[in-house]
Every structure is written in C-alpha cells, then in structure tokens.
Amino acid sequence: MNKLVFYPAVFHKAEEGGFWISFPDLPECFTEGDDMIQAYEMAVNALGLALTSREAEKQTLPEPSAPTEITVEKDSFLVVIEFDILAYKKRTNSRAVKKTLSIPEWLNEEATAIGVNFSQVLQEALMQKLQIK
C-alpha cells in the first residue's frame, strides 16, 4: 500500500523575507517559512493537514498537477513536495481504538495458555493484510 504522493507547491518570496507557499491543487492550503528549510517543512505539514482533512471529510484527493503545467510569477518558483500519507497518520493519529471480536473458544484457550498478546497479533495481521510496513 503506497501512500506516497507528490504535489507541486509555489514558493513566493515574501517582502519581509522568507517565503509564503501555495498549492495550485489545494486552494485552501497556504503556509510560510522564514528560510528555505523551514518553508519546505511547513509546506509538508500544511499539505498533510489539507490531505488528511479532505480524507476525513470523505472528499477525494485531487490529482497532482504536472509541474510542467504550472506557470509561476516573477519572484516565485515551483517545488514538488513529497508527502507520505501513511507515515503522517502513524505519527499524528496513533491512539488506540477498542475493537470487539470473536474467536473460537479453543483458539482463545490455546493462545491464552502461551501468553499471546491479542492486540499485537491483530495489529500485525492487519498490517500484513494491508501490506503496510
């Protein structure tokens, strides 16, 4: 399951120094940074918030525009932002969710007898099923 996406961002030179950033494919997504490193980091975070907010609202994510199709103004330049949706979710939303499930009694007895951690087994099985590393 690959959740790596690449969205173009326009870095605009700010009059007071640094940059402000916009995303042509996500008109609601803006951020800023004092220097190139901070601006890029802020762009990654802003992109993550915009994409996960859209997912939470059951909106489809827009297809990223091809960088060659975007025209930038003077004192601006294009940067393609790499974003790992799955890593972002793991980092920002790892709270435990209680699940009720049923297994055969004999299987429960065997697993309990050897001290199986049911939560861990379920997590590992789900990650394998979803092909998540």
Place 1 in a pLDDT band, splitting at 50, 70 and 90.
very low
User: H or E element: which one contains 21?
Assistant: strand 19-22
Separation CA 84–CA 4 (nearest Å): 4
User: H or E element: which one contains 12?
Assistant: strand 4-13
pTM of full prediction above 0.75: no
Q: What is the pLDDT of residues 97-108, one digit of tens each?
A: 888 889 999 998
| Residue ranges in the chain assigned as alpha helix (H) | 36-56, 85-92, 105-113, 118-129
Separation CA 61–CA 7 (nearest Å): 11
Q: What is the pLDDT of residues 58-84, one digit of tens each?
A: 999 999 999 999 999 999 999 999 999
Place 2 in a pLDDT band, splitting at 50, 70 and 90.
low
Residue 13 has pLDDT above 80, yes or no: yes
Residue 4 has pLDDT above 60, yes or no: yes
Q: What is the pLDDT of residues 27-65, one digit of tens each?
A: 999 999 999 999 999 999 999 999 999 988 999 999 999
Separation CA 132–CA 2 (nearest Å): 8
Domains observed in the chain: 4-92 (3.30.160.250), 96-133 (no CATH)
Place 127 in a pLDDT band, splitting at 50, 70 and 90.
confident
